[in-house]
Amino acid sequence: MTPSAQTLLRWGARRLEASAVPNSFWTAEQLLAGRLGCQTVELHVESPSVPEEVRALFETDVASRSGGMPLQYLTQTAGFYGRDFAVGPGVFIPRPETEVLVETALEILTHSPLVVDVGTGSGAIAITLALERPGLQVLGVDQFSIPLRFARANARRHGARVQWVQADLGSALAARSVDLLAANLPYLDPAQSDSWGRELFWEPWAALNGGSGGLHEALRLLRQASAVLKPDGGLLLEIVPDQVEPLKALARANGFRWDRVVRDLAGLDRVVLLWKN
DSSP 3-state percent helix, strand, coil across the chain (nearest 5): 45, 20, 30
Between 183 and 229, CB nearer to ligand GLN: 183
Which listed range, 45-53, 133-141, 146-154, 184-192, lies at the site for ligand GLN (CB under 6 A)?
A: 184-192
In the complex, minimum distance from the CB of residue 114 to ligand GLN, in angstroms, rounded to a whole number: 23
> Coil, strand or helix: which one is 20?
coil
Total residues interacting with ligand GLN, rule: CB under 6 A: 9
Answer yes or no: are the C-beta atoms of 270 and 239 closer than 8 Å.
yes
- How far from each other are the two terminal CA atoms of the chain, in whole angstroms? 71
Binding residues for ligand GLN restricted to 237-256, rule: CB under 6 A: 238
Interface with ligand GLN, residue 198, by CB under 6 A: no
Query: Which residue in the set 184, 215, 219, 243 belongs to the binding site for ligand GLN (CB under 6 A)?
Result: 184
Site string for ligand GLN, 77-116 (x = CB under 6 A): ------------------x---------------------
Interface with ligand GLN, residue 147, by CB under 6 A: no
Query: Which residue in the set 80, 164, 187, 256 belongs to the binding site for ligand GLN (CB under 6 A)?
Result: 187
Closest CA to 57 of 40, 41, 36, 38: 36
What's the one-letter identity of residue 192?
Answer: Q
The 10 Å CB-count burial string (b at 16+, else e) for 7-36 is: ebbebbbebbbeeebeebeebbbbbbbbbb
The residues of the shown chain that bind ligand GLN, judged by CB under 6 A, are 95, 184-188, 200, 208, 238
